[in-house]
């Protein structure tokens, strides 16, 4: 039951993009087509779950026992960068199709602050191993949901008559604001 | 002249927030008040300048194959330094900015400048570029913070401008207001730029 | 020099320098950070225990009580991590203050509760940290909510719906604070009695 709450909390109530403001760069950059949005979301979710496992082990078996809290940020970001590389190599060998679909997004994930942000939040919340994994999955699914919703709207937007100064990113931000407003309706769900 | 250009481009033409639209997460997350915007901007500027200088100084030493991990380590180190020093000297600000201080490390501005500028240019140019970009980021954050604080809390830099009982637009203090503020500020920037271009053409 | 050897050497040197720099900065700042936290805690205790000018940490083994709470439908982790004894300017005991923790809506809520030495009644409550929704759950910081706890003793129910009114639209936050008070209270009072 508690795991379910963590998941729903990460996907809807405290959606990483629309409520916590994490992962905004890819959110604005890769949300022009539904298909690419879905690919980016899937790749990110995958990296998040893998990172969740490794950062959890590092935090509680290395950083904490050896009293090295100040190395947290450098180590986590290096783990994420290494994970992204590994996932990239692994996919290229095992599933060329998936690699072709996700390949171009993978390098971008390293600088997606949603990944590092969620690792730090998971540690702060002192989640257990399983909780961290579920939290990572929820964060990834929440990110994907926001990305796909945004892409769907932006695809339709091509046919709309947007005032010239607002065209492009301006209107995208306002749409994101409205989406965020909608998501704040989930407050109180959990 | 060249130096002035490198400095000024960060303020307007290549402004990271309004022009390049990078480094968006802290831009929206911590700008619920003007002071937070200044604090976040200053912290980012410090990390940006330090890492630009160091990366530029090491540009002939770092092999190109491992340059990305090297940049990451340098940037992460300076982010952590800021995190610790701010926690010690400015605990109140540190509490508000919270997780977004360690997240400076994944701010695309830093990686972007390291890769595109600092790793190719001499130390002094890199420092000026970092400073310009940092100040450009800071003023953008401060502007967004000012607008949101005025509308959301009816105050400016913490000073209440309206009576305590007056209704304010609380939505500007929370997430949706942040997106909407940035959206309209972007539109304003575009209008000003178009106007400027027109006048310079006429002149 | 071999290319790959050079790569490894450069990376290792940079990583070592970074670790060294961070260890130095950490060494320098950790003392100040701890001092700040202590000072902050001190001023919070002064606030919930009027008349206190000096505090002492009560040495207790951290008592952990993990209970399943059916009212909030989730496991509420309840710990009384720290108990402080307050002294006034004549070095008489004013009472004790304890830190309580409850699971709020956005994360853990940490509160500090001051209890009078004579009457055993709550003198004040301060919210140390929370991450509740601004405008809704964040109202737990307001005096009108916090003052509901003043005067309560161990004999009171201290429960939302009984003697504590929940904040509109922030039932979870209100409940988290109330639970933190009730559970921490019994625990801390027992530890305080034992120490006398």
Percentage, residues of chain C above pLDDT 90: 9
Q: Phi and psi of B25, rounded to 5°?
A: -60, -55
Spatial distance between the Cα atoms of B81 and A64, rounded to a whole number of angstroms: 19
Q: What is the CA radius of gyration of chain A?
A: 17
Interface membership of C7 toward B (CB under 8 Å):
yes
Mean pLDDT of C165-193: 85
Is C15 close to B87, i.e. CB distance below 8 A?
no
Q: C73 vs B160, which has greater pLDDT? A: B160
Mean pLDDT of A108-137: 86
Whether C25 is in a domain gets the answer no
Confidence of residue C38 (pLDDT cuts 50, 70, 90): confident
Is B170 close to C10, i.e. CB distance below 8 A?
no
Q: A140 vs B25, which has greater pLDDT? A: A140
Confidence of residue A1 (pLDDT cuts 50, 70, 90): low
To test the contact with chain A by mutation, choose from C20, C24, C26 the residue with the greatest count of A C-beta atoms within 10 A, namely C26
Please name the residues between 154 and 173 in chain B that touch chain A, using a CB distance below 8 Å: 171
Q: B163 vs A35, which has greater pLDDT? A: A35
Pull the structure tokens for residue A59.
Answer: 């935090």
* B87 interaction partners in chain C (CB closer than 8 Å): 29, 33, 36
Structural domains in chain B (count): 1
Mean pLDDT of A132-161: 92
Q: How many residues does chain C have?
A: 196
B and C: number of Cβ contacts within 8 A: 60
Q: A2 vs C164, which has greater pLDDT? A: C164
Provide the pLDDT for residue C67. 42
In this model, does residue B142 exceed pLDDT 90? yes
Provide the pLDDT for residue C134. 65
In this model, does residue C73 exceed pLDDT 70? no
Mean pLDDT of B26-54: 90
**Chains touching B (3+ CB pairs < 8 Å):** A, C
**Inter-residue contact A134 to A6 (CB < 8 Å):** yes
**Inter-residue contact A57 to A122 (CB < 8 Å):** no
Provide the pLDDT for residue C81. 65
Q: How many other C-beta atoms can be found within 10 angstroms of the C-beta atom of residue A124?
A: 13
Nearest C-alpha neighbor of C68 from the set C77, C79, C81: C77
Domain containing B62 equals 2-202
In this model, does residue C182 exceed pLDDT 70? yes
Q: Phi and psi of C35, rounded to 5°?
A: -65, -45
Spatial distance between the Cα atoms of B94 and B85, rounded to a whole number of angstroms: 9
Which region among A103-107, A182-186, B20-24 has the lowest average model confidence (pLDDT)? Answer: A103-107
Spatial distance between the Cα atoms of A154 and A135, rounded to a whole number of angstroms: 28
In this model, does residue C104 exceed pLDDT 50? yes
- Model ipTM? 0.85
Spatial distance between the Cα atoms of C193 and C196, rounded to a whole number of angstroms: 5
Which region among A80-89, B116-125, B181-190 has the lowest average model confidence (pLDDT)? Answer: A80-89
Spatial distance between the Cα atoms of B26 and A122, rounded to a whole number of angstroms: 19
Whether C17 is in a domain gets the answer no
Spatial distance between the Cα atoms of C186 and A151, rounded to a whole number of angstroms: 54
Whether C101 is in a domain gets the answer yes
Spatial distance between the Cα atoms of B162 and B177, rounded to a whole number of angstroms: 20
Extended strands (E) in chain B: 155-156, 159-160
In this model, does residue C75 exceed pLDDT 60? no
Whether C82 is in a domain gets the answer yes
Provide the pLDDT for residue A103. 64
Confidence of residue B81 (pLDDT cuts 50, 70, 90): very high
Confidence of residue A142 (pLDDT cuts 50, 70, 90): very high
Per-chain mean pLDDT for chain A: 86
Interface membership of B187 toward A (CB under 8 Å):
yes
**Inter-residue contact A35 to A144 (CB < 8 Å):** no
Mean pLDDT of B196-200: 83
Confidence of residue A190 (pLDDT cuts 50, 70, 90): low
Quick one: closest CA in B to C21, which residue?
B77
Confidence of residue C68 (pLDDT cuts 50, 70, 90): very low
Provide the pLDDT for residue B141. 93
Whether C73 is in a domain gets the answer yes
H helices of A95-159, where?
Answer: 96-102, 106-109, 113-124, 129-157
Is C136 close to A14, i.e. CB distance below 8 A?
no
Domain containing C52 equals 45-195
Closest in A71, A113, A180 to B103, CB measured: A113
Q: From residue A135, how far is each of A17, A56, A96, B26, C133 by CA, in Å? A: 14, 12, 29, 22, 20
Which region among A26-40, B132-146, C145-159 has the lowest average model confidence (pLDDT)? Answer: A26-40
Provide the pLDDT for residue A10. 86
Confidence of residue C188 (pLDDT cuts 50, 70, 90): confident
Structural domains in chain C (count): 1
Confidence of residue C1 (pLDDT cuts 50, 70, 90): low
Is A5 close to C74, i.e. CB distance below 8 A?
yes
Provide the pLDDT for residue B76. 92
In this model, does residue B176 exceed pLDDT 80? yes
Is B66 close to C7, i.e. CB distance below 8 A?
yes
In this model, does residue A47 exceed pLDDT 60? yes
Interface membership of C70 toward B (CB under 8 Å):
no
Confidence of residue C76 (pLDDT cuts 50, 70, 90): very low
In this model, does residue C74 exceed pLDDT 50? no
**Inter-residue contact A73 to B102 (CB < 8 Å):** yes
């Amino acid at each position: 039951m508690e795991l379910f709450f963590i998941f729903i909390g990460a996907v809807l109530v405290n959606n990483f993009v629309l409520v916590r403001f994490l992962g905004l760069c890819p959110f604005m950059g890769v949300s022009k087509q539904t298909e690419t949005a879905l690919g980016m979301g899937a790749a990110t979710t995958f990296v998040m779950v893998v990172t969740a496992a490794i950062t959890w082990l590092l935090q509680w078996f290395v950083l904490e026992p050896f009293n090295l809290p100040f190395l947290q940020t450098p180590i986590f970001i290096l783990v994420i960068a290494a994970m992204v590389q590994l996932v990239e190599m692994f996919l290229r060998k095992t599933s060329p199709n998936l690699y072709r679909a996700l390949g171009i997004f993978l390098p971008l994930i390293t600088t997606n602050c949603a990944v590092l942000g969620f690792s730090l939040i998971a540690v702060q919340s002192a989640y257990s191993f399983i909780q961290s994994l579920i939290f990572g999955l929820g964060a990834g699914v929440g990110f994907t949901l926001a990305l796909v919703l945004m892409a769907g709207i932006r695809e339709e937007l091509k046919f709309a008559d947007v005032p010239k100064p607002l065209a492009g990113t301006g209107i995208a931000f306002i749409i994101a604001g409205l989406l965020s407003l909608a998501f704040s309706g989930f407050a109180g769900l959990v | 002249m060249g130096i002035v250009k490198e400095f000024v481009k960060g303020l307007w033409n290549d402004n990271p927030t309004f022009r390049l639209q990078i480094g968006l997460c802290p831009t929206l997350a911590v700008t619920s008040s003007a002071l937070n915007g200044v604090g976040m901007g200053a912290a980012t500027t410090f990390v940006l300048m330090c890492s630009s200088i160091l990366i530029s100084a090491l540009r002939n030493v770092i092999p190109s194959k491992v340059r990305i991990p090297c940049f990451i380590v340098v940037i992460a180190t300076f982010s952590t330094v800021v995190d610790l020093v701010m926690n010690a000297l400015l605990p109140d600000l540190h509490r508000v900015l919270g997780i977004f201080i360690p997240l400076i490390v994944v701010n695309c501005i830093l990686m972007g400048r390291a890769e595109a500028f600092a790793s190719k240019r001499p130390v002094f140019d890199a420092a000026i570029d970092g400073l310009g970009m940092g100040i450009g980021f800071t003023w953008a954050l401060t502007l967004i913070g000012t607008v949101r604080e005025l509308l959301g809390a009816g105050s400016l830099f913490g000073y209440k401008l309206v009576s305590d009982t007056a209704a304010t637009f609380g939505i500007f203090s929370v997430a949706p207001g942040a997106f909407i503020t940035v959206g309209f500020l972007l539109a304003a920037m575009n209008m000003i730029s178009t106007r400027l271009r027109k006048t310079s053409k006429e002149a | 020099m071999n290319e790959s050897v050079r790569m490894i050497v450069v990376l290792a040197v940079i990583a070592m320098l970074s670790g060294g720099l961070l260890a130095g900065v950490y060494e320098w700042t950790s003392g100040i950070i701890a001092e700040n936290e202590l000072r902050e805690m001190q001023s919070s205790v002064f606030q919930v225990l009027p008349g206190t000018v000096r505090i002492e940490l009560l040495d207790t083994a951290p008592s952990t009580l993990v209970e399943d709470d059916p009212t909030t439908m989730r496991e509420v982790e309840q710990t009384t991590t720290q108990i402080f004894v307050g002294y006034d300017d004549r070095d008489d005991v004013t009472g004790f203050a304890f830190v309580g923790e409850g699971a709020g809506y956005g994360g853990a809520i940490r509160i500090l509760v001051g209890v009078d030495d004579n009457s055993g009644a709550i003198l004040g409550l301060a919210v140390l940290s929370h991450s509740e929704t601004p405008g809704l759950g964040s109202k737990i910081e307001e005096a009108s909510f916090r003052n509901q706890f003043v005067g309560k003793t161990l004999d009171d129910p201290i429960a939302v719906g009984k003697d504590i009114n929940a904040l509109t639209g922030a039932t979870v936050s209100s409940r988290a604070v109330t639970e933190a008070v009730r559970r921490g209270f019994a625990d801390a009072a027992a530890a305080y009695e034992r120490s006398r």
